[in-house]
């Protein structure tokens, strides 16, 4: 069984076990993995050493929300990830070494928006670029307004009007300020975030109109 298959099997099991809704489930993991690949490809010519860290980047991107404190105690989530990675041995790929697992769990535990705003970026030495690739990939997926809406609906027992208001407020105070707050360091993310910003504005306008309200900038 390929490592990618094992990763998504684990994610499906973890989301079911911890009642992780679709806003942080497998489709989100796939999207973060996609952006991690795009950023990785754009950065590789500047940082050739990233080629040896490709697996660390992709595993971190795929698994990052399986230890999200909104759904599971972080220590428990990390322990489950470590146990899974230690068991991921197959003839199809080289086993993930303990040193790699340490880097993966460190990235996962230090990449969230709230931790970065509170503590700043960690110093991961030779893995610093890999860290930023995974972190920025997750930030790019945060521009998906519908995803934010889904999460808020879960918190509001399906009340779409309250969910729209809270999601719009979050975008105004957080997502739309990512660039001005210096959270994107790679050229790919800086450019892509501008495109996603425009899409998000359009989606907010759509949902405000659907809810029978005027759009508030």
| Residue-range domain boundaries for the chain | 3-138, 145-210
What is the model's pLDDT at position 154? 87
What digits encode the pLDDT tens for the residues 164-178?
999 999 999 999 999
Confidence of residue 124 (pLDDT cuts 50, 70, 90): very high
Cα–Cα distance measured from residue 109 to residue 17, given in angstroms and rounded to the nearest whole number: 20
Does the domain made of 3-138 have the CATH classification 3.40.190.10?
no
Give the rounded percent of residues in the chain with a pLDDT score beyond 90: 83
pLDDT average, residue stretch 86-97: 75
Q: In the 3-class helix/strand/coil scheme, how is the chain assigned residue by residue?
A: CCHHHHHHHHHHHHHHHCCCCHHHCHHHHHHHHHHHHHHHHHHCCCCHHHHHHHHHHHHHHHHHHHHCCCCCCHHHHHHHHHHHHHHCCECCECCCCHHHHHHHHHHHHHCCHHHHHHHCCCCCHHHHHHHHHHHHHHHHHCCCHHHHHHHHHHHCCCCHHHHHHHHHHHHHHCHHHCCCCCCCCCHHHHHHHHHHHHHHHHHHHHHHHHCCCCCCC
Read off the pTM: 0.93
Give the rounded percent of residues in the chain with a pLDDT score beyond 70.
Answer: 94
């Amino acid at each position: 069984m390929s490592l990618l298959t094992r990763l998504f099997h684990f994610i499906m099991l973890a989301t079911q076990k911890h009642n992780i809704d679709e806003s942080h489930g497998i489709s989100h993991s796939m999207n973060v993995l996609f952006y991690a690949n795009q950023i990785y490809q754009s950065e590789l010519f500047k940082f050739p050493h990233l080629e040896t860290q490709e697996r660390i980047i992709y595993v971190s991107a795929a698994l990052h929300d399986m230890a999200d404190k909104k759904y599971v105690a972080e220590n428990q989530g990390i322990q489950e990830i470590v146990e899974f990675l230690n068991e991921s041995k197959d003839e199809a790929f080289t086993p993930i070494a303990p040193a790699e697992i340490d880097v993966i769990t460190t990235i996962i535990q230090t990449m969230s928006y709230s931790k970065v705003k509170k503590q700043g970026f960690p110093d991961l030495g030779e893995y610093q670029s890999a860290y930023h690739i995974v972190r920025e990939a997750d930030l790019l997926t945060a521009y998906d307004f519908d995803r934010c809406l889904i999460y808020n609906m879960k918190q509001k027992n399906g009340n779409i009007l309250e969910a729209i208001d809270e999601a719009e407020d979050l975008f105004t105070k957080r997502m739309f300020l990512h660039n001005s707050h210096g959270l994107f360091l790679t050229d790919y993310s800086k450019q892509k975030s501008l495109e996603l910003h425009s899409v998000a504005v359009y989606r907010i306008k759509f949902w405000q109109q659907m809810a029978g309200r005027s759009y508030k900038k």
